[in-house]
Amino acid sequence: MDLLVGLAKTTLSTILDVLPIAGIIFGFQVLVLRRPIPHLRRVLTGFVYVLIGLSLFLVGLEEALFPLGKLMAEQLTDPQFIYGAASEVSTLLRWQDYKWVYLFGAAIGFAATIAEPALLAVAIKAQAVSGGAINVWGLRIAVALGAAMGIALGTYRIVTGTPLHYYIIAGYIVVVVQTAFAPRLIIALAYDSGGVTTSTVTVPLVTALGLGLASTVPGRSPLIDGFGLIAFACLFPMISVMAYAQIGQWRARRAGTRRQE
Amino acid sequence: MDQKLGCFFCSVRDSIRDLLPIIIVIAFFQIAILQEPIPNLGRLLIGTLLVAMGLTFFVRGLEMGLFPIGESIAYGFARKGSLLWLLLFAFALGFGTTIAEPALIAVADEAADMAAVAGVVPDQPQALARYALGLRLTVALSVGLAIVLGVIRILKGWPIHYLIIGGYIGVVAMTAFAPPEIIGVAYDSGGVTTSTVTVPLVTALGVGLASSIKGRNPMVDGFGLIAFASLTPMIFVMLYGMLL
């Protein structure tokens, strides 16, 4: 019964979410472009599918994965877990004590990014546009690896309490340097993949991890240090996607020279 | 089409494969590291099944609805040749989809609480709500402008990296002047703006525009709209923090 109520509620809020978008699109199509929409029936069915899909997706996440994921984030950052049953909470903070948190951050960052529907959409489009040169799974795994690295580093930052902007600025410098060397075709897509990693699945899980960590590590405030994980998850996929293309280019070049010999 | 429909179960299977990593991670940490049983196993399984079904429907709807309409709008504007309407559409799409974004509402509320702790706004519900709304409007405005800028870039064929690197320099410069408590929120706001419905639409719009204009490559010029939409909110939110 709970499930049905949740489903009805989520469907309603999804409709409210999609309605302004649909309004803008159909409004411009009818009033400005003054052209009938090609395959109107099919497009409308598609919109209904998107609504159903998103609602089921969100309800499933809320029902099952989020509560458990959030609970685990709390348990893993709990001082009792970190310092053992003896619970001699040392005043000396050692970043090594949080090794499971970094690993969990990386693993959940990777897994949540693979499940992210927005990334799937961009990957499908990229594969179609590039004529298969960019592969859906290749791109998704590259982005997920980037997100995993970013979140692991982000949790390390919360534990050590170093300023966020040092990391972000250093990341930007890496992105700028890579841009100079990466194949031109990948650059726009790489920049885009920063933004798509963080939506429906990743944000709630990662936020729970950040807030849990910032409220249990001595000397950190959840309000000041809890933010910033999403920024990490946005920055590192750009680096990893460009690296993915660079590795591909390098291998192609090596294969080419070998063939010449 | 019929073949696609016939393979509904294949796409359900694909969706389950997409979710497998998340299940493995949760099961591994729960059982091996935390050494606790998984609570509500049945509920977890039902939830996962719902997520898999949802993902399947979403992808189907994407290919039937969101991608075609995004492209048809792009072709329509390219044929009509009215720059003003195109830019107005771009702004409306960016602004309209961001203002109602649930992730942004959550971040804005948290940011308001933080501003109250920092003493920027008085700790009263009304003042907090106003601060959060202001933040949401700021982000929505910046996303609208970002899509407009991104569309102009596609039309003119400007290389994306100059604009993005310029934006980074803006972010870094603003970081030096913005109040420290807003920096984390500002950096995060870039990531939360782009929702699951907006991304496919905006991508289809960009690719459609780039492929209907002569001399533009959909791969080089078509992508990049989302990059703008994740960059400008950082600058605008820091500006908001500085002005208030």
Question: A139-176 pLDDT, tens per residue?
Answer: 999 999 999 999 999 999 988 888 888 898 999 999 99
Examine the domain organization and report whether A153 and A246 are in the same domain: yes
The pLDDT value recorded for residue B145 is 95
A51-60, A206-215, B87-96: least confident range:
A206-215
The pLDDT value recorded for residue A119 is 92
Structure-block tokens of residue A33: 């472009």
Q: Is residue A137 part of a domain?
A: yes
User: Of A27, A59, A91, which one is at a domain's C-terminal end?
Assistant: A59
Task: Mark out the alpha helices in A79-116 (DSSP H runs).
Answer: 79-83, 99-114
Q: Is residue A49 part of a domain?
A: yes
- Mean pLDDT over residues A28-48, rounded? 86
pLDDT band at A90 (very low <50, low <70, confident <90, very high): low
> Which residues, numbered 134 to 193 in chain B, qualify as contacts with chain A under a Cβ-Cβ cut-off of 8 Å?
160-161, 164-165, 168, 171-172, 175, 180-181, 183-185, 187-188, 190-193
Q: Is residue A69 part of a domain?
A: no
φ and ψ of B39, to 5 deg: -75, 145
pTM of the model: 0.87
Q: Is residue A66 part of a domain?
A: no
Instruction: Kindly list the residues from chain B whose CB atom is less than 8 angstroms away from the CB atom of residue A65.
Output: 22, 26, 44, 47-48, 51
The pLDDT value recorded for residue A236 is 94
The pLDDT value recorded for residue B2 is 42
Examine the domain organization and report whether A54 and A159 are in the same domain: no
Examine the domain organization and report whether A81 and A1 are in the same domain: no
- Domain around A146: 77-260
Q: Do A46 and B60 touch (CB under 8 A)?
A: yes
Examine the domain organization and report whether A108 and A25 are in the same domain: no
CB atoms within 10 A of CB A140: 20
Examine the domain organization and report whether A189 and A108 are in the same domain: yes
Q: Is B94 on the interface with A (CB under 8 A)?
A: no
Q: Is residue A70 part of a domain?
A: no
Examine the domain organization and report whether A241 and A176 are in the same domain: yes
The pLDDT value recorded for residue A40 is 86
**Structure confidence by residue, pLDDT tens digits, A172-189:** 999 999 999 999 889 999
Examine the domain organization and report whether A37 and A160 are in the same domain: no
Examine the domain organization and report whether A138 and A226 are in the same domain: yes
Examine the domain organization and report whether A181 and A212 are in the same domain: yes
Per-residue burial over B2-24, b = 16 or more CB atoms within 10 Å of its CB, e = otherwise: eeeeeeeeebbeebbebbebbbe
Torsion of CA A95, A98, A104, A107, to 10 degrees: 30
> Which residues, numbered 240 to 259 in chain A, qualify as contacts with chain B under a Cβ-Cβ cut-off of 8 Å?
none
Q: Do A196 and B227 touch (CB under 8 A)?
A: no
Cβ(A49)–Cβ(B61) under 8 Å? Answer: yes
Examine the domain organization and report whether A99 and A50 are in the same domain: no
- Return the SS3 of A206: helix
Q: Do B188 and A130 touch (CB under 8 A)?
A: no
> Which residues, numbered 48 to 77 in chain A, qualify as contacts with chain B under a Cβ-Cβ cut-off of 8 Å?
48-65, 68-69, 71-72, 75-76
Calculate how close chain B gets to A133, using CA atoms only, in Å. Answer: 11
What is the Cα–Cα distance from A248 to B219, expressed in whole angstroms?
17
Cβ(B130)–Cβ(B72) under 8 Å? Answer: no
Examine the domain organization and report whether A231 and A168 are in the same domain: yes
Nearest to A181 by CA among A131, A222, A226, A239: A239
Q: Do A42 and B65 touch (CB under 8 A)?
A: yes
The pLDDT value recorded for residue A92 is 59
Structure-block tokens of residue A201: 């699945």
Q: Which residue has the higher pLDDT, B68 or A89?
A: B68
Cβ(B19)–Cβ(B58) under 8 Å? Answer: no
What is the Cα–Cα distance from B88 to A27, expressed in whole angstroms?
12
The pLDDT value recorded for residue A171 is 93
244 residues of chain B, pLDDT tens digit each: 444 555 677 777 888 888 888 888 888 888 887 787 777 788 888 888 888 899 899 989 988 988 998 888 888 888 887 889 899 999 998 998 888 777 788 778 878 887 787 777 788 888 888 988 999 999 999 999 999 999 999 999 899 989 999 999 999 999 888 888 788 888 888 877 777 888 898 999 999 999 988 888 888 899 999 999 989 999 999 999 888 7
Q: Is B205 on the interface with A (CB under 8 A)?
A: no
Tell me what the pLDDT averaged over chain A comes to: 85
Examine the domain organization and report whether A5 and A88 are in the same domain: no
The pLDDT value recorded for residue B1 is 40
Q: Is residue A17 part of a domain?
A: yes
What's the number of domains chain A is made of?
2
